[in-house]
Amino acid sequence: MSDKKDIRALTKDQLRDFFEKEGDQAFRGNQVYEWLWSKSAHTFTDMTNLSKETRSMLEENFVINHIKVDDMQKSSDGTIKNAVKLHDGLIVESVLIPTKSRTTACVSSQVGCSLDCKFCATSRLKRMRNLNPDEIYDQVVAIDNESRLYHDRPLSNIVFMGMGEPLMNYNNVLKAIDKITSPEGLGMSPKRIVVSTSGVPKMIKKMADEDVKFKLAVSLHSAIDEVRTSIMPFNATFPLKDLREALEYWYAKTKNRITYEYVVWKGINDQKKDVDALIDFCKFAPSKVNLIEYNPIDDGMFQQANDEAINMYVSMLERHNITVTVRRSRGKDIDAACGQLANKS
Ligand code: SAH
């Protein structure tokens, strides 16, 4: 590994300053910035509007730590999973999910995960490190390229539902989103981005204070503390009362509806009392429930509930005017579905 600085850690102003200090003109900084971000250049040689001298001067001072798509798997349903190699050799996964009307990138925010959800394969990897903003951005660019190549259209949506807990890598996730939404980056609308969290109350409030424009999804899975703590042990530290208070704050500030992600498991949360608690939890702020299909992670502890239980959830929620959708898994045959990302290959 080189000890030269990663040039993409510099802001545009820092790049401009760098060129000025080198006795060149500041606007070179803008040119390089454009190459690095909106044109996603992998090498200094690609930067064809710079002189040869400038390019080798950059080469002497910096590296471009670009991610590399190390392996790509295609599912029979069109889903693509990338195993992405980082500059230090660690691997994360990201997924392209095509539907009729959109192409969604599901991106990772950490190598492994800081949390310990019992039903999620990623939690077994433990957190090794946070991803840098550019490593998050690059996953999106790689998926956008694949979307154009294999599905003839650009990427339309992004969900932070890959490996990791985005709110435990808050600053870098926000910096990445800034780049993704900036006209100098990919120019995507923040309304097409969903940050999914297991629910870190303090960070949800911080996000609300910063007036972010993307959407929020919360992996709820149970609105009863005892049940939630048994499947998501960190709930003991961040109980539902705190989560609820943070979400109330989020809604008051942003006026953005909250999505709850929810898997119904046999013998865990498939009773009427579970639905009652969920309905109650949905009342304090406008929200919508996504019932996600369980993707088995080869241990016997969890099993998808039967259709009867799912139908009970749907009809009871609808009776209370709460929007509910039942989502089918995508990319299961290549371990690309929710909760299956674990660097198996
Ligand atoms: N840490 C974030 C984002 C990653 S998980 C979060 O918790 O939201 C993305 C979604 O997949 C979450 O809703 C999570 O609860 C869900 N998930 C995890 N394991 C799953 C599994 N085995 N089957 C179905 N969904 C799962």
pLDDT in tens, 264-309: 999 999 999 999 999 999 999 999 999 999 988 877 789 999 999 9
Structure tokens belonging to residue 166? 């985005």
Q: Identify whether residues 251 and 152 lie together within a single domain.
A: yes
Global pTM value? 0.93
Q: Is residue 345 part of a domain?
A: no
**Short-list 120, 151, 178, CA closest to 302:** 120
Q: Identify whether residues 223 and 319 lie together within a single domain.
A: yes
Q: Is residue 339 part of a domain?
A: no
Which of residues 44, 63, 82 is at a domain's end? 63
Whole-number pLDDT of residue 321 = 96
Which of residues 45, 63, 81 is at a domain's end? 63
Q: Identify whether residues 59 and 92 lie together within a single domain.
A: no
Note if 338 is an active site residue.
Answer: yes
Whole-number pLDDT of residue 335 = 81
**Alpha carbon nearest to ligand 1 atom 13, residue:** 219
Q: Is residue 344 part of a domain?
A: no
Whole-number pLDDT of residue 14 = 96
Q: Rounded CA gap, 303 and 98, in Å? A: 27
Cα torsion 212, 91, 39, 43 to 10°: value is 140
**Alpha carbon nearest to ligand 1 atom 3, residue:** 161
Q: Rounded CA gap, 78 and 334, in Å? A: 11
**Short-list 331, 330, 264, 272, CA closest to 291:** 264
Q: Which residue has the higher pLDDT, 318 or 333?
A: 318
Q: Which residues line ligand 1 (CB under 6 A)?
A: 119-120, 161, 165, 196-198, 219, 261, 263, 292, 294-295, 297, 338-339
Whole-number pLDDT of residue 2 = 60
Q: Identify whether residues 134 and 280 lie together within a single domain.
A: yes
Whole-number pLDDT of residue 253 = 95
Residue of 193, 299, 332, 338 to mutate, ligand 1, most atoms within 8 A of C-beta: 338
Q: What number of other Cβ atoms are within 10 A of residue 224's Cβ?
A: 18
pLDDT at 345 over 60: no
Which of residues 32, 48, 63 is at a domain's end? 63
Summarised one tens digit per residue, pLDDT across range 140-187 is 999 999 999 999 999 999 999 999 999 999 999 999 999 999 998 899
**Short-list 147, 100, 109, CA closest to 130:** 109
Residue 162's domain spans which residues? 68-334
**Average pLDDT for 79-100:** 94
Domain count, the chain: 2
Q: Rounded CA gap, 210 and 243, in Å? A: 18
**Alpha carbon nearest to ligand 1 atom 4, residue:** 161
DSSP string across 232-244: SGGGGTS-HHHHH
**Would you call 29 helix, strand, or coil by DSSP?**
helix
Q: Identify whether residues 110 and 16 lie together within a single domain.
A: no
Q: Which residue has the higher pLDDT, 1 or 172?
A: 172
Between the alpha carbon of residue 193 and those of residues 28, 222, 249, the distances in Å are 32, 24, 20
Structure tokens belonging to residue 222? 């149970």
DSSP string across 285-325: S-EEEEEEPP---S-TT--BPPHHHHHHHHHHHHHTT-EEE
| Rounded distance from Cα 53 to ligand 1 centre (Å) | 49
| Rounded distance from Cα 298 to ligand 1 centre (Å) | 15
pLDDT band at residue 50 under the 50/70/90 scheme: very high
